[in-house]
Amino acid sequence: MATENTRGLARLMLAPSVALLLIWMIVPLAMTLWFSFQNYNLLNPANVSWTGLFNYKYFYTDPAFFQSIWNTLLIVGGVLVITVVGGIAIALLLDQPMWGQGIVRIMIISPFFVMPPVAALVWKNMIMHPGYGVLADINRALGFQPVDWFAQYPLFSIIIIVAWQWLPFATLILLTALQSLDGEQKEAAEMDGAGFVSRFVYLTLPHLARAITVVILIQTIFLLGVYAEILVTTNGGPGYASTNLAFLIYRTALLGYDVGGASAGGIIAVILANVVAIFLMRAVGKNLDR
Amino acid sequence: MARAVSTRRMAVATIAAWIVALIIFFPILYTIITSLKSEPEAIQGFNLIPSFTLESYVTVQTQRDYFKPFMNSVVLSVGSTLLALLVAVPAAWSMAFSPTNRTKDILMWMLSTKMMPAVAVLVPIYLIFRDTGLLDTRLGLTIMLTLINLPIVVWMLYTYFREIPGEILEAARMDGATLWGEIVYVLAPMAVPGIASTMLLNIILAWNEAFWTIRLTTTNAAPLTAFIASFSSPQGLFWAKLSAASTLAIAPILIMGWFSQKQLVRGLTFGAVK
Amino acid sequence: MNVRTLLLGTCSAALLCGYANAETLTIATVNNGDMIRMQGLTEDFTTKNPDIQLEWVTLEENVLRERVTTDIATKGGQYDIMTIGTYEVPIWAKQGWLLPLDNLGADYDVDDLLPAIRSGLTGDDGKLYAAPFYGESSMVMYRKDLMEKAGLTMPDAPTWEFIADAARKMTNRDEGINGICLRGKAGWGENMAFLTATSNAFGARWFDENWKPQFDQPEWKNTLDFYIKLMNDAGPQGASSNGFNENLALFQQGKCGMWIDATVAASFVSNPAESTVADKVGYALAPDTGLGKRGNWLWAWNLAIPAGTQKAEAAEKFIAWATGKDYLKLVADKEGWANVPPGTRTSLYENAEYQKAAPFAKMTLDSINAADPKNPTVKPVPYVGVQFVAIPEFQGLGTTVGQLFSAALAGQMSVDDALAQAQQVSEREMTRAGYIK
């Protein structure tokens, strides 16, 4: 039982980070909220005026708006599917005894250490480029026409790049969870004559539920804001095919220099993110409680 | 019999794992290979054996000094990590050991602060930094990176601390340990692995942060992300040079990651184990 | 104790004085070859001006533009010299964000600057607000050997009809030869630079005198139809992701019969160290359609001083050095005349040595002189700029429209849809910005 004393101390210890985050959250949020009601173009600072809700209306009537929300969800969903399924598969593989496990593990976690702009540049120029990329070279060697990835499958290409960056993270967490699975239980199941599939479905998967939830939660937070990879590769196009919400805000803020519009977009993004978060907590959050 | 099967199984697992690992690692490997090619060689088509020229590295270094941005990256990522730990360890500690009804809410709220798109708050933050004289200072950027990663740090530490059994605390208290003694002698040794891996993860995240580190710096505080931005998409295709710059930018953190992966993994569970 | 404090005090004062004397200029610049060469040659400047030190911030074009625009608009004061394009200069000068350059020194010879370039950098008050570091227009670069093989001769001033015909005849996809390589990558400075300039030759315009967008007019449909058909028949695979860099590489590797792009590319395609077709390149003016305007643009990268700087005097000294005649001479001495930053000074084009080293010199000069940013289109327009519209809203709008046209080129959208959507977003944006009342 915690005494009054320790409880007070606990509050004291909690205070600095709560206060810091409160300031960090409130001050920019308040400024953003304020700017979102202003007609404020950075290139025309003399002409700042109050516009009420106009920026919001303007942002959500943007021809790209609904597609950008859809694309945001597609990116989050696509990357989550690839990293969770791929992560489980790789974790199962790495859990087997093998030669050179250390090196294999090092290679698999490496993409996590690569900064997003570098990852995007490498994939764009050296892997997916229709003229000089490795994939194009492979296609030509097999006698096919090279695929122009960013023109034909822009969103899919971006999902691949982002998934590549996050796959190691998912793999690591899932692998750690997998290794904590009781060896005796596994053996017992094997003795019972349970096949690989039923062992996986009835023993491994339930054991991994918590780890999967954690992967989904953390990645979602980062994936909602993906924009660097889009900026480097497709610039949101062709058309609006790879524009997500974060990139739409980027375009408004740093191509249009429309501070008011970008602020309104930011507020909309925060609301959307919270909706997603609540939905997620409802859907998988109970896995976190024991 | 059982022996033979397991050897065969091991061989299959080995081959499969190596194929998967090589595919995943390939983009990085190819970048390193390309950095050792000459410029015309780099766009000539698929070729795994470079001419091992260091020409691109020399050009990159003469064009832009590597050392200063490298030092900035080190100072910023380590500095912001230490600062974040300083604030987050007590917070996570109290959340884990004296939880209240609000604990979960506070945690979720902290995480939700990460959901504001950075670019939407660029102008407000730029104005604040300008007025406080923090633009292009290591201090300003350290604070920035601390704040960005604080929620993740708190969460990670919290989930790790929660795994530490409370009974140990009780036992120590029974023995008449003071609160201070409790922390130093009983809990600290158990918490160290979690703190270590939190630290590593945060260093990685701070090292790779590429929005604020470019937008809030000019020369004094510019880290390796800005270094990369001076080599991406120039006039003409300079892939060998770009690869060399990319290799230089990711090498330190990659090597650190390789050496510390065991440490990193131990605490990188976010409470997912068990 | 007291003495020591005093001594320390004087020391630090002396140190402070020392630092105060040595001013450090922070210069933001783009990572193009000519600027990087300049950074390598600054020793010449610092030996002549030992009290000035230089700090460089080199960034790729888009990031640089974001950085300097944010900084100057919020008066962040991070830079003493900024490298900015012809697009920014008039907009920023009008806001009072730039200092006029009227102390460039006696031997700077402002009148030597090419008139077309200079006029774009001069404010309404007749003062120069930025000094050009290098300038460019666009022109046709073509393969003489392929042209001959197709049985054609390139005139000095071709029409679009001729270009299209030649492109189709030169195309031989089995051998990997594309008749023509043009920009397709979306962006206001990528495909829209080319398409806007081309549309001028087709008689189109972005806005009429009342700022009403003109994408619903037949001229734009002609332009876009023509471009997409031509690219389908004679362009390279995946053209919708090709920008300057990609086309440069294609041309250098002998995969393009013609390429219409920036004049600075001429020095790359004719450089035997980089280009496999260096000795086979010919040049011609950007094509027209007989309506009186050619599709050649005008661009310069310029050095300017933001109004907030405390070091205006030193900054102006540096600008005079970097854009002066002696700098051209310095580059020529160290790296040869072919590497001199082109397109800024009349005297360079009168220099016999330069003409010899740069076979494209005359065509570059003619192209630059043929561009008229103040009067860019067949029909009257309310804006300045050949391949852009010099209003703050253009970057965002141009990029959106560029995306739509890029999608049309990739075959994901019909020309009519792309134009209808372009019209819609332009009307929306222009209404909001208050141009359309």
Does one domain contain both C172 and C286? yes
With a CB-CB cutoff of 8 Å, which residues 168-187 of chain B face chain C? Answer: none
Tell me the pLDDT tens digit for each residue of B110-145: 777 777 788 888 888 998 999 999 999 999 999 999
CA proximity to B110, closest of A18, A197, C204, C370? A18
Residue A61 forms contact with B (CB below 8 Å): no
Contact at CB, A117 and B228, closer than 8 angstroms: yes
C3 domain residue, yes or no: no
Q: How far apart are CA C29 and CA C83, in angstroms?
A: 5
C334 domain residue, yes or no: yes
Residue A93 forms contact with B (CB below 8 Å): yes
Interface test with B, best of C30, C35, C36, C246 (most B CBs within 10 A): C36
Q: For residue C3, what pLDDT is reported?
A: 45
Q: How far apart are CA A55 and CA B124, in angstroms?
A: 17
Find the closest chain A residue to C404 by CA distance. Answer: A239
Closest partner CB to A44 (pick from C237, C392, C425) = C392
Q: How far apart are CA A244 and CA A236, in angstroms?
A: 7
CB-count burial class (<10 Å; 0-12, 13-18, 19+) for C107 = exposed
Question: Could you give the domains of chain B?
Answer: 2-59 (no CATH), 66-230 (1.10.3720.10)
Residue C93 forms contact with A (CB below 8 Å): no
CA proximity to B76, closest of B200, B211, B203? B203
Q: How far apart are CA A113 and CA B28, in angstroms?
A: 10
Residues shown for chain B: 274
Does one domain contain both C304 and C290? no
- Tokens for B19? 């194929």
Which parts of C50-159 fold into alpha helices (H)? Answer: 61-73, 88-95, 115-121, 144-149
Question: Which residues in chain B touch residue C245, judged by CB atoms under 8 angstroms apart?
Answer: 233, 235-237
Q: How far apart are CA B248 and CA B242, in angstroms?
A: 10
Strands C256-262 and C131-143: antiparallel
* Structural domain containing residue C71: 13-129+299-357
Per-residue burial over A194-230, b if 16 or more Cβ lie within 10 Å, else e, is beeeebeeebbeebbebbbbbbbbbbbbbbbbbbbbb
Residue A274 forms contact with B (CB below 8 Å): yes
Question: Which residues in chain C touch residue B62, judged by CB atoms under 8 angstroms apart?
Answer: 40
Report the run of H or E that residue B121 belongs to, with start and end.
Answer: none
What's the mean pLDDT in A144-173? 91
One DSSP character per residue, B139-196 reads HHHHHHHHHHHHHHHHHHHHHHHHTS-HHHHHHHHHTT--HHHIIIIIIHHHHHHHHH
Tell me the pLDDT tens digit for each residue of B148-165: 898 889 888 888 888 777
Find the closest chain B residue to C24 by CA distance. Answer: B219
Tell me the pLDDT tens digit for each residue of C56-88: 999 988 889 989 999 999 888 999 999 999 999
Backbone angles phi, psi at C258, to 5 degrees: -140, 155
Place of tokens 């970008």: A262
**Where residue C90 sits, what CATH number does that domain have?**
3.40.190.10
C410 domain residue, yes or no: yes
Q: How far is C95 from chain B (nearest CA, A)?
A: 19
Residues pairing with C83 in the sheet: C303
Q: Could you tell me if C141 and C269 are in contact, meaning their C-beta atoms sit under 8 angstroms apart?
A: yes
SS3 C281: strand
Q: Could you tell me if B198 and A106 are in contact, meaning their C-beta atoms sit under 8 angstroms apart?
A: no
Q: For residue C8, what pLDDT is reported?
A: 44
Find the closest chain B residue to A137 by CA distance. Answer: B46
Residue C427 forms contact with A (CB below 8 Å): no
| Distance (Å) of CA A263 to CA A64, B110, B244 | 17, 21, 38
Contact at CB, B218 and C58, closer than 8 angstroms: no
Closest partner CB to C424 (pick from A42, A63, A150) = A63
Does one domain contain both C267 and C412? yes
Average pLDDT, chain A: 86
Residue B62 forms contact with C (CB below 8 Å): yes
Q: Who contacts C290 (Cβ-Cβ below 8 Å, separation ≥6)?
A: C159
Q: For residue A1, what pLDDT is reported?
A: 43
- Residue B44 in this model has a pLDDT that exceeds 80: no
Q: Per CATH, is A53-288 categorized as 3.50.50.60? A: no
Residue B219 forms contact with C (CB below 8 Å): yes
Count of structural domains, chain C: 2
Report the run of H or E that residue C258 belongs to, with start and end.
Answer: strand C256-262
Does one domain contain both C246 and C395? yes
- Tokens for C181? 């390589």
The residue ranges of chain C whose pLDDT is under 50 are 1-20
Does one domain contain both C177 and C83? no
Closest partner CB to C32 (pick from B40, B43, B235) = B235
Tell me the pLDDT tens digit for each residue of B70-122: 999 999 999 999 999 988 888 888 888 777 777 777 777 777 777 778 888 88
Contact at CB, A273 and B112, closer than 8 angstroms: yes
- pTM here is 0.89
Q: How far apart are CA C350 and CA C358, in angstroms?
A: 12
Contact at CB, B219 and C56, closer than 8 angstroms: yes
Contact at CB, B204 and A113, closer than 8 angstroms: yes
Chain A: which residues have CB within 8 Å of chain C? 41-46, 58, 61, 63-64, 130-132, 145-146, 148, 150-152, 231, 235-241, 251-252, 254-258
Q: For residue C49, what pLDDT is reported?
A: 92
Question: Which residues in chain C touch residue B231, judged by CB atoms under 8 angstroms apart?
Answer: 31, 60
Q: For residue B1, what pLDDT is reported?
A: 40
C369 domain residue, yes or no: no
Tell me the pLDDT tens digit for each residue of A237-253: 788 889 999 999 998 88
Does one domain contain both C72 and C219? no
Average pLDDT, chain B: 85
Does one domain contain both C143 and C76? no
Q: How far is C381 from chain B (nearest CA, A)?
A: 32
Closest partner CB to A238 (pick from C246, C397, C410) = C410
Closest partner CB to B151 (pick from A13, A21, A173) = A21
Q: For residue B177, what pLDDT is reported?
A: 67
Question: Which residues in chain B touch residue C278, judged by CB atoms under 8 angstroms apart?
Answer: none
Q: For residue C11, what pLDDT is reported?
A: 42
Contact at CB, C60 and B63, closer than 8 angstroms: no
CA proximity to B247, closest of A114, C305, C105? A114
Q: For residue C225, what pLDDT is reported?
A: 95
Does one domain contain both C293 and C304? no
Tell me the pLDDT tens digit for each residue of A186-233: 777 777 777 778 888 888 888 888 889 888 888 988 898 898 899 888
Closest partner CB to A146 (pick from C73, C237, C410) = C237
Q: For residue C69, what pLDDT is reported?
A: 92
Does one domain contain both C322 and C401? no
- Residue B208 in this model has a pLDDT that exceeds 60: yes
C4 domain residue, yes or no: no
Q: For residue B178, what pLDDT is reported?
A: 72
C371 domain residue, yes or no: no
Does one domain contain both C414 and C290? yes
Residue B64 forms contact with C (CB below 8 Å): yes
Q: Could you tell me if C193 and C263 are in contact, meaning their C-beta atoms sit under 8 angstroms apart?
A: no
Contact at CB, A239 and C407, closer than 8 angstroms: yes
CA proximity to A141, closest of C152, B244, C355, B46? B46
Residue A255 forms contact with B (CB below 8 Å): no
Q: How far apart are CA C323 and CA C27, in angstroms?
A: 14
Question: Which residues in chain C touch residue B136, judged by CB atoms under 8 angstroms apart?
Answer: 78
Q: For residue C81, what pLDDT is reported?
A: 96
Residue B235 forms contact with C (CB below 8 Å): yes
Q: How far is C151 from chain B (nearest CA, A)?
A: 31
C112 domain residue, yes or no: yes
Q: For residue C1, what pLDDT is reported?
A: 39
Does one domain contain both C170 and C43? no
Q: Could you tell me if A243 and A251 are in contact, meaning their C-beta atoms sit under 8 angstroms apart?
A: yes
